[in-house]
Structure 1
Amino acid sequence: MQRCLDFWYGLTGRGRVALWLMLTCCLAVCLWWIAIRPPEKRLTQLKSDRAARQLTLRQHYLKTHALRPPEGLTESESARAFSPLDFAPPHASLTRWQPALHGGELELAAQWAQAVATFARLAEYDMVVRGFTLEPEGGQLRFTLQLEAANDP
């Protein structure tokens, strides 16, 4: 310990300042190396991960964008809201409607030709027929349909 103090006191004022500045700079470089450099590496890694995720998301977006309907569709071409009251006498007469959570049971009295056309009309409303029964009833058919909305699970 005595040697270090002898060395320090043996230096001139300028030598002490120069040595002090050199030690301070070395300490600053060491602190930079320890404290700042690892977060910089982590930041670089995070940036590369972000770029990879953006590329993946862009690819998923392009896939889902291809599944969207064309933008030129008008309101009349898209699916209309379903209403059992639309099955009026020119097409068939509504006998009974029992609503359910995602659809319901529709009972119609119709001729055979109107019963066949009912499926096409339900497709316009974006409704799926899960089951149906046909029974003759006094010159007409009693047509019972179990319906479910196509966009519901």
Structure 2
Amino acid sequence: MRALTERWCALSMKARFSLWLIFTFVLLSLIGIIRRDVPSFSSASPQIAERWRGLRQLQTQPAIPLVQTPVLAFTPLEYQFAGTQLVDWQPEGSGGEMVLDTHWQQIAEIFALLGTQNMSVRAFNLKPFAKALRLTLQLEHINDTR
């Protein structure tokens, strides 16, 4: 590195000026080539411009308030409907363990009903039992702060 510095200082003023001029010309030429190959935003297709306008409108629109679904009070007795029977309920704290005999088709409905009652499933077990399925659920209230 020291040798390069010594050579640079050993050059005459005209040689240094010529090298700086060549370097600047090459640099500006490269910048011109790069900028010519990159399309500008003003020449972008009308579809892209229309999409950007749509996105800007979405940003300025006020947020739509979410509709709150009414929360039902939890009671294990509601889980006795067609094809489902409550076998056992062991309350503990803000939740408990619920055992149901059910069919495969009712399982999604059970979880949906738990969601409307602000109940969270910590764990569950599903086993075949007689001609149905035995579903064991460990439940807790979602808004519990303990």
Q: TM-score, normalised by structure 2?
A: 0.52
Task: Summarize deviations over 1:25-74 as a string: whole Å, max 9, x none.
Answer: xxxxxxxxxxxxxxxxxxxxxxxxxxxxxxxxxxxxxxxxxxxx86x75x
1:96 is matched with which residue? 88
Aligned to 2:134: 142
Mean alpha-carbon deviation: is it higher for 112-121 or for 102-111? 112-121
CA distance in 2, matches of 1:116, 1:139: 19
Displacement of 1:133 in angstroms is 0.1
Q: Secondary structure at the match of 1:95?
A: strand
Q: Which moved more, 1:128-137 or 1:91-100?
A: 91-100
Q: Aligned runs of 1:44-123 on 2, under 5 Å?
A: 73=68, 77-90=69-82, 92-123=84-115
Distance 1:89 1:79 in 2: 20
Render the CA deviation track for 1:76-113: whole Å, top value 9, x for unaligned.
x3111000000113251100000000100000000011
Q: 1:83 to 1:96 in 2, by over 3 A?
A: same
CA deviation after TM superposition for structure 1 residue 116, in Å: 2.5
Q: Which consecutive unaligned segments of at least 5 residues does structure 2 have?
A: 1-64
Structure 1: 4+ residue segments shifted above 2 A: none
Higher normalized helix content (fraction of residues): 1
Percentage identity across aligned positions? 41
| Residue correspondences, number | 81
1:125 maps to which residue?
117
Q: Using the alignment, how far apart are the partners of 2:123 and 2:106 within structure 1?
A: 17
TM-score by length of 1: 0.49
Superposed CA RMSD in Å reads 1.7
